[in-house]
Amino acid sequence: MNKIKQKTIIAFLTMILNISFAFNISAQSYDSTYFPIGVWSIKGDFRPVEDYLYVEENGKFVMPEKAPAYHEQLFSELESYGFNAAFMSLDPIGPTIHSIVEKALQHNIKIVSSMQNLSYIISQSNDDPPSGDDIRQAILNDSIEFLSQSPGILGYYLYDEPLPGWIDFDILKQAKDSLLRLSGGNHPVLSAWNDVQHMEYIDGYLHQDVLLADTYPFSDSTSKGSLIDYMPAYFSSYGDPDDPSTIGPATPGFSEYIEMIRKQQCNNPDRPFWIVFQSFGDVVRYEDESWAFWRQVYPKEIRLQVWISVMQGAKGLWYFLYESEYPGLMGLLDLSGQPTCRLQEVADINSEISSISNILLKLDVVEDAQVTVDKGEVKMHVDKSKDTDNKYVIVTNTDYYNSQDIVVTVSKSEIGYKISGITEEKTNTSIPFTETDDEIQFTASLDRADGSLYHYKKKNSDGNKNSFKNDNIVIYPNPVLNKFIIRNNGREIKSVSIFNELGQKVLDKHTGDSTVNVGDLKNGYYTVKVRIDNKLLTEKILILRP
């Protein structure tokens, strides 16, 4: 074959590949094994905050020498509070972007990177529509070539709270498609939204593989412990952008709002949704503005938001926001950078959710299930990863002031199998239950504004209620970077052994420590065998480093 024919064939195959790729730009790669417990970090943002991170040189923001040490401190703090993800802008960091992402990964933190340049031209789209070349250059300026290849990136943040009439949605869609094309679709493209009236409209443009929703229920007019969601009420009043009077005010309860988001999955029922919680309040009130000001959030109100969202099927949790800014908002750290009482509550919540996150990722809400509670709220879930259709319920005590004993009643036909027991997964505690010919009933004893996950354990065919197979361990985070934690719920860990894919033992320790360091092991799949009390339990892990 002569060189001319070879070049012609290569050019033709290249064209076919390019065409194929162009038609697959909507395919976004989402890591379904990762349950993000994240936080918005404003000091990881592109703007100078009290000259803390960035200084201006020749009209550009660059990082001073102290910035790497700050990021080390930031990610170490986030890990200690149980976060595994952070939202920040990596836009102006330039050559140092590698070290920042590596520092995050060292502390088991993945990053959603704000696409600042792209977001800016989208915000100007009504007045100054950008060209395709403008969009492409903005994406390249947002360091997409590095971000798309990094295992430390969880997603790209395209635009904050898009609303019809405020931006050109055709430009928004074009920007999203271009971002996917240039990134190879390695990570999902995210845009937080809170517009109840236009949920379906917005989703029709973005076709997101992950829905990300803002939920800010606590304005100055909201009483303590009340979950009347102010934010969607405010935005739903806009209605038709050409005629705001066409839509009256709407004030859904918080749980109702989360359910509306979940039911928006109708176009793609397998995709997850992530919820952004209000963990902030105003630092300064601006008397000359008509905005309804946010009040400070109480710790138990954050807990209540989390458990309602998990109950409704959320597969990711985000807190807004971490640091405080003056004038502006009070975050989980106060103005001097010290932890608030809210942050300690968040750390406790994160520990609880992390311990059951592997289970939560497998569950789907059962619509219109035959399960009731005498107070609070409940949703039934089914384990979608198994043929056995194991059933769970998540129960939430919506009483902000009082602990409650909540009676949970479920139809036996809804369960669909004989049970050997009911386990509270958060504490791995067996719960007493009663049953009649038609129903199974148990009592969930929950602290105020709290929730929990309960498993209706299937009876083995041999009738053994205490079979070893019904026990499980939870290892988190998984995938693992350098270390993992074993949820043992106070039981004694006698030994931990790790085997590679060839069945060779690569680690063996005899200790009661629930934290296991695997920094010396190579990337790959491993089997972990844990002896707890007198039982040997097994779990698979993936070690994954950049």
Classify domain 364-470 at the CATH class level: mainly beta
When mean pLDDT is compared across 47-51, 150-154, 401-405, 530-534, the lowest value belongs to: 47-51
pLDDT attached to residue 464: 38
**Top-confidence range, 167-171, 219-223, 510-514:** 167-171
When mean pLDDT is compared across 122-126, 182-186, 220-224, the lowest value belongs to: 220-224
Q: What's the pLDDT tens digit per position in 206-219?
A: 888 888 988 888 87
pLDDT attached to residue 341: 93
DSSP string of 168-193, one letter each residue? -HHHHHHHHHHHHHHHTT-S-EE-EE
At residue 348, what is the residue type?
D
Q: How confident is the model at residue 45 (pLDDT cuts 50, 70, 90)?
A: very low
pLDDT attached to residue 198: 74
Averaged pLDDT of the chain: 80
Question: Cis (ω within 30 of 0) for the bond into 64?
Answer: no
Q: Which residues contact 348 (CB under 8 A, 6 or more apart)?
A: none
pLDDT attached to residue 267: 59
pLDDT attached to residue 269: 67
Residue 489 clears pLDDT 80, i.e. is over it: no
Instruction: Quickly name the fold that domain 475-543 has.
Output: Immunoglobulin-like (2.60.40)
pLDDT attached to residue 486: 86
pLDDT attached to residue 237: 42
**For 167, which DSSP code?**
B
* Residue predicted with more confidence, 185 or 464: 185
Mean pLDDT of 432-457: 96
DSSP string of 323-355, one letter each residue? S--SSSEE-SB-TTSPBPHHHHHHHHHHHHHHH
pLDDT attached to residue 330: 86
| CA–CA gap between residue 183 and residue 359 (Å, rounded) | 31
DSSP string of 287-317, one letter each residue? TT--SPPBPPPPHHHHHHHHHHHHHTT-SEE
| CA–CA gap between residue 472 and residue 163 (Å, rounded) | 45
Q: Which single residue is written with the structure tokens 């709270």?
A: 161
CA angle 323, 299, 34 (to 5 degrees): 70
Which option is the CATH number for 12-361: 1.10.10.10, 3.20.20.80, 3.10.105.10, 2.130.10.30? 3.20.20.80
**Burial class, 7, CB count within 10 angstroms (exposed 0-12 / middle 13-18 / buried 19+):** exposed
Q: How confident is the model at residue 513 (pLDDT cuts 50, 70, 90)?
A: confident
Question: In this prediction, what percent of the chain has a pLDDT beyond 90?
Answer: 42
| CA–CA gap between residue 111 and residue 156 (Å, rounded) | 9
Residues 167, 123 contacting (CB under 8 angstroms): yes
Strand partners, 509: 496
Residue 29 clears pLDDT 60, i.e. is over it: yes
Q: Where in the chain is the domain with CATH 3.20.20.80?
A: 12-361
At residue 346, what is the residue type?
V
**Top-confidence range, 100-104, 162-166, 375-379, 388-392:** 375-379
pTM: 0.77
| CA–CA gap between residue 39 and residue 323 (Å, rounded) | 10
Q: Where in the chain is the domain with CATH 2.60.40.10?
A: 475-543
Residue 490 clears pLDDT 70, i.e. is over it: no
Residue 12 clears pLDDT 70, i.e. is over it: no
Residues 25, 180 contacting (CB under 8 angstroms): yes
**Which ranges constitute the DSSP H helices of 26-168?**
67-80, 97-106, 116-123, 132-141, 144-147
Mean pLDDT of 188-211: 82
| CA–CA gap between residue 193 and residue 214 (Å, rounded) | 6
Q: Where in the chain is the domain with CATH 2.60.40.1180?
A: 364-470
| CA–CA gap between residue 333 and residue 325 (Å, rounded) | 10
Closest listed residue to residue 322, CA positions, set 355, 294, 347:
347
pLDDT attached to residue 47: 39
| CA–CA gap between residue 203 and residue 191 (Å, rounded) | 10
Q: Is 51 left (phi over 0), alpha (psi -120 to 50) or beta?
A: left
Residues 543, 524 contacting (CB under 8 angstroms): yes
pLDDT attached to residue 398: 94
Q: What's the pLDDT tens digit per position in 61-119?
A: 455 566 667 788 889 999 999 999 999 877 555 556 777 888 899 999 999 998 988 99
| CA–CA gap between residue 508 and residue 485 (Å, rounded) | 15
